[in-house]
């Protein structure tokens, strides 16, 4: 079974390396970050990966961030994730 994981702080130093590792191991995952210190360039190499999805969201906010979920059908990733 393909496990699905959530990686918070995904555009930071540790989180972006976790993204690389989970993709390499074949996991499906959602990356989450609010860019307070992270950088898009840390994850931009992952955009083309089928298993990659992203939510621009503050992990301390208890609300449903589903509407913010980036999936591959969004063509302009940079503009989308900064909303
Ligand atoms: N080349 C290197 O060796 C190198 C480079 C950079 C950093 N470091 C070290 O790595 C450590 C820092 O790495 P890190 O990954 O822990 O920090 P980080 O700041 O790189 O990553 C934290 C991530 O969490 C995100 N974030 C913070 N609060 C959030 C919230 N409420 N909701 C959603 N996202 C949130 C930030 O935007 C950021 O992307 C430090 O010890 C630093 O010295 C080493």
pLDDT at 32: 93
| pLDDT tens digits, 30-82 | 999 999 999 999 999 998 888 788 888 899 987 766 666 665 555 555 555 55
Give the span between the Cα atoms of 10 and 26, in whole angstroms. 17
What pTM, to 2 d.p., does this model score?
Answer: 0.81
Would you say the CB of residue 15 lies under 6 angstroms from ligand 1?
Answer: yes
In this structure, is residue 27 part of a structural domain? yes
Would you say the CB of residue 22 lies under 6 angstroms from ligand 1?
Answer: no
Q: Hey, which residues does 53 pair with through a beta bridge?
A: 30
Task: Give the residue, by CA position, lying nearest to ligand 1 atom 11.
Answer: 13
CATH of the domain at 65: 3.40.50.720
SS3 category, 62: coil
In this structure, is residue 26 part of a structural domain? yes
In this structure, is residue 51 part of a structural domain? yes
Number of domains in the chain: 1
Domain that holds residue 36: 4-78
Would you say the CB of residue 12 lies under 6 angstroms from ligand 1?
Answer: yes
In this structure, is residue 83 part of a structural domain? no
Task: Give the residue, by CA position, lying nearest to ligand 1 atom 34.
Answer: 33
Q: Which run of H or E residues covers position 69?
A: strand 69-70
| pLDDT tens digits, 2-36 | 788 999 999 999 999 999 999 999 888 899 999 99
């Amino acid at each position: 079974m393909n496990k699905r994981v959530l990686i918070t702080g995904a555009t930071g130093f540790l989180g972006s390396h976790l993204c690389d590792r989970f993709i390499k191991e074949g996991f499906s995952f959602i990356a989450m970050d609010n860019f307070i210190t992270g950088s898009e360039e840390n994850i931009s190499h992952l955009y083309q990966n089928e298993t990659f999805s992203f939510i621009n969201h503050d992990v301390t906010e208890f609300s449903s961030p589903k509407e913010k979920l980036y999936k591959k059908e969004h063509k302009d990733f940079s503009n989308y994730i900064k909303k």
